[in-house]
């Protein structure tokens, strides 16, 4: 039996005043057509990272729309996560030699997951598989029922993949009825994509992480972590991972400090269960910070949960996202939704989120530092930037739009 996640309850009606009327009406219409459709989401973890974050909102909202939606976690253990981490990095371009042992471990957990699904006897209209970890579940389960439609959702950038991993996985992925990518630029070169569908992710404006917090409440929370709320602080919220470049963020902070000596830096990073490298990188970052009392490192293990992330994001003077590679980068929309000025790398889905003056795109550490210093010295400029960013997110990156896109896809696949 696969572990099921209970994502709680949410009501679409609560979003009505936040989104456009046409979107709300289209959702009602799609919900009417898809009532009772049975959907199973499968991914690798219920905690940490963007995929879990999205499912915690999408699953209850789709249920509220009348679909019968479940979310299951595939089987996994450290050896498997070590392999899938290597796959993940390889698909994002890292060097890696695909070994028979790694394939065997990968297939074993996919096979066990597929067997559990098939043996449960449950029937699904849609099985929605997230990312490479469970990508072989379709193959090993024999596709389940006749009428089951299979969707593979890729949350990462596979535009310059390690060929060995791609050539190994792709024959299985092509068999899905739809391959969903955030943007066309992330798809691998030279492969067949018979069911390519482009759907960017989104954030939940009403979740504890993104709901409106007063400045006083946010300040009260932030000050309890020892950050001086009378002085400015830069923030990056990200897993401790080389692709997120926390060391680069420290370099940016050090350059900004030369111009703004009172500045502080807060790095918040959750430690995901499927990310064994996280700890190495955490210690590397702690060492790099070198005991600077104005650099704060927090994680879910130091009690920084959703509300605390919200408080840090709501109060930060500048939010940085210095990623080297990025899937979509949900944290960028999270910060923009709080009307914060964001300085972020021109990679992955970030440029899609930072357009028309709502944030600053950078390519280098000195550029990032200059952008931060400018924002710290010009509050009017920073305020206007935050306002524009928020409106861009409202129009494009809130969960009701994501739900609409997925319901459209279900309706198309089910005919």
Of 130 and 388, which has the nearer Cβ to ligand UDP? 130
Q: Does 7 bind ligand UDP (CB under 6 A)?
A: no
Of 70 and 308, which has the nearer Cβ to ligand UDP? 308
Nearest CA to 315 out of 393, 227, 385, 203 is that of: 227
Contact mark string toward ligand UDP, 176..215, x via CB under 6 A: ---------------------------------x------
In the structure encoding, which two tokens stand for residue 260, read together? 């703004």
Which residue number has the CB closest to ligand UDP?
Answer: 50
CA distance 250 to 271: 19
Q: Does 246 bind ligand UDP (CB under 6 A)?
A: no
Locus of tokens 């791609």:
166
The interface with ligand UDP within residues 50-89 (CB under 6 A) comprises 50, 53
State in Å, rounded, how far the first CA of the chain is from the last one. 30
List of residues 6+ apart from 356 with CB closer than 8 A: 388, 392
Of 137 and 268, which has the nearer Cβ to ligand UDP? 268
Of 114 and 316, which has the nearer Cβ to ligand UDP? 316
Q: Does 329 bind ligand UDP (CB under 6 A)?
A: yes
Of 331 and 339, which has the nearer Cβ to ligand UDP? 331
Number of residues that bind ligand UDP (CB under 6 A): 20
Quick one: CA dihedral 285, 312, 271, 399, positive or negative?
A: negative
Backbone φ and ψ of 42, nearest 5°: -130, 125
Segment contacting ligand UDP by CB under 6 A, of 120-128, 266-274, 388-396, 403-411: 266-274
Locus of tokens 């609560």:
14
Q: Does 275 bind ligand UDP (CB under 6 A)?
A: no
CA distance 141 to 114: 5
- Among the listed residues 239, 257, 401, 404, the single contact to ligand UDP using CB under 6 A: 239
Q: Does 268 bind ligand UDP (CB under 6 A)?
A: yes
Of 117 and 368, which has the nearer Cβ to ligand UDP? 368
Which DSSP helix (H) or strand (E) runs through 345? strand 342-345
Q: Does 348 bind ligand UDP (CB under 6 A)?
A: no
Of 30 and 52, which has the nearer Cβ to ligand UDP? 52
- Give the number of C-alpha atoms closer than 13 A to the C-alpha of residue 392, restricted to the C-beta side: 25
Confirm if 170 and 191 have CB atoms less than 8 A apart: yes
Q: Does 334 bind ligand UDP (CB under 6 A)?
A: yes
Backbone φ and ψ of 231, nearest 5°: -115, 150
Nearest CA to 213 out of 333, 309, 302 is that of: 309
In the structure encoding, which two tokens stand for residue 351, read together? 């440029």
Q: How far is the CB of 172 from ligand UDP (least distance, A)?
A: 23
Q: Does 133 bind ligand UDP (CB under 6 A)?
A: no
Q: Does 331 bind ligand UDP (CB under 6 A)?
A: yes
Q: How far is the CB of 198 from ligand UDP (least distance, A)?
A: 17
Quick one: CA dihedral 244, 245, 250, 251, positive or negative?
A: negative
Q: How far is the CB of 209 from ligand UDP (least distance, A)?
A: 6
268 to 205, 222, 313: CA distances (angstroms):
20, 12, 10
Of 117 and 135, which has the nearer Cβ to ligand UDP? 135
Q: How far is the CB of 48 from ligand UDP (least distance, A)?
A: 7
In angstroms, how far apart are the furthest CA atoms of the chain? 65
- Among the listed residues 7, 246, 278, 327, the single contact to ligand UDP using CB under 6 A: 327
Residues interacting with ligand UDP, by CB under 6 A? Answer: 49-50, 53, 209, 237-239, 268-270, 299-300, 304, 309, 327-331, 334
């Amino acid at each position: 039996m696969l572990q099921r996640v209970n994502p709680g309850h949410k009501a679409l009606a609560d979003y009505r005043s936040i989104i456009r009327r046409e979107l709300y009406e289209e959702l009602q219409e799609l919900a009417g057509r898809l009532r009772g459709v049975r959907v199973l989401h499968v991914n690798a973890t219920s905690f940490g990272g963007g995929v879990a974050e999205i499912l915690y909102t999408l699953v209850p909202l789709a249920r509220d729309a009348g679909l019968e939606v479940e979310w299951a976690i595939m089987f996994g253990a450290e050896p498997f996560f070590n392999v899938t981490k290597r796959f993940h990095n390889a698909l994002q371009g890292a060097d890696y030699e695909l070994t028979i042992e790694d394939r065997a471990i990968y297939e074993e957990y996919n096979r066990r997951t597929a067997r559990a699904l098939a043996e449960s006897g449950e029937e699904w209209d849609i099985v929605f598989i997230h990312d490479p970890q469970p990508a072989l579940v379709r193959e090993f389960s024999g596709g389940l029922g006749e009428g089951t439609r299979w969707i593979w959702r890729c949350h990462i950038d596979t535009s310059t993949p390690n060929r060995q991993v791609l050539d190994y996985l792709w024959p299985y992925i092509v068999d899905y009825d739809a391959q969903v990518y955030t943007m066309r630029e992330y798809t691998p070169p030279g492969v067949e994509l018979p069911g390519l569908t482009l759907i960017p992710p989104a954030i939940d404006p009403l979740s504890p992480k993104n709901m409106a917090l007063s400045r006083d409440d946010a300040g009260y929370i932030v000050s309890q972590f020892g950050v001086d709320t009378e002085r400015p602080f830069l923030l990056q919220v990200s897993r401790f991972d080389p692709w997120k470049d926390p060391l680069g963020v420290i370099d940016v902070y050090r350059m900004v400090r030369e111009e703004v000596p009172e500045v502080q830096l807060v790095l918040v990073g959750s430690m995901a269960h499927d990310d064994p490298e996280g700890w190495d990188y955490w210690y590397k970052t702690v060492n790099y910070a070198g005991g600077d009392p104005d650099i704060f490192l927090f994680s879910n293990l130091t009690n920084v949960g959703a509300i605390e992330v919200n408080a840090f994001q709501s109060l930060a003077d500048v939010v940085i996202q210095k990623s080297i590679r990025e899937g979509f980068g949900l944290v960028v929309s999270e910060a923009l939704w709080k009307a914060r000025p964001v300085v972020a790398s021109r990679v992955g889905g970030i440029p899609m989120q930072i357009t028309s003056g709502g944030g600053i795109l950078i390519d280098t550490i000195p550029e990032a530092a200059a952008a931060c210093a400018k924002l710290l010295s010009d509050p009017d400029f920073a305020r206007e930037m935050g306002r524009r960013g928020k409106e861009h997110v409202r129009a494009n990156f809130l969960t009701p739009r994501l739900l609409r896109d997925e319901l459209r896809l279900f309706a198309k696949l089910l005919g």
